[in-house]
Amino acid sequence: MSAEQIDALRAYRDQHGRRWKSRLLAGWLSSTGDEGPELRQVRNTFGPSWLLNYRLPD
């Protein structure tokens, strides 16, 4: 995963709070959210189910 993709995940987490994963996953599954190109790349590369076990690096 690129540094830009990790930064995009962090920014999404910071913007959406504690339930950021469930919100991102819901956006991915409904295709209604505009997460930006980096997060779309993450979804297309790793798939939605990958997000459930992912932990952002410190």
In this predicted structure, what is the pLDDT of residue 33?
Answer: 64
Q: What are the pLDDT digits (tens) for 7-16? A: 999 999 999 9
- Angstrom CA distances, 22 to 3, 29, 47, stand at 22, 10, 14
Q: For residue 2, is pLDDT > 70?
A: yes
Q: Is 3 exposed, middle or buried (0-12, 13-18, 19+ CB in 10 A)?
A: exposed
Q: What are the pLDDT digits (tens) for 23-41? A: 999 988 887 667 788 999 9
Q: Is the pTM of this model over 0.75?
A: yes
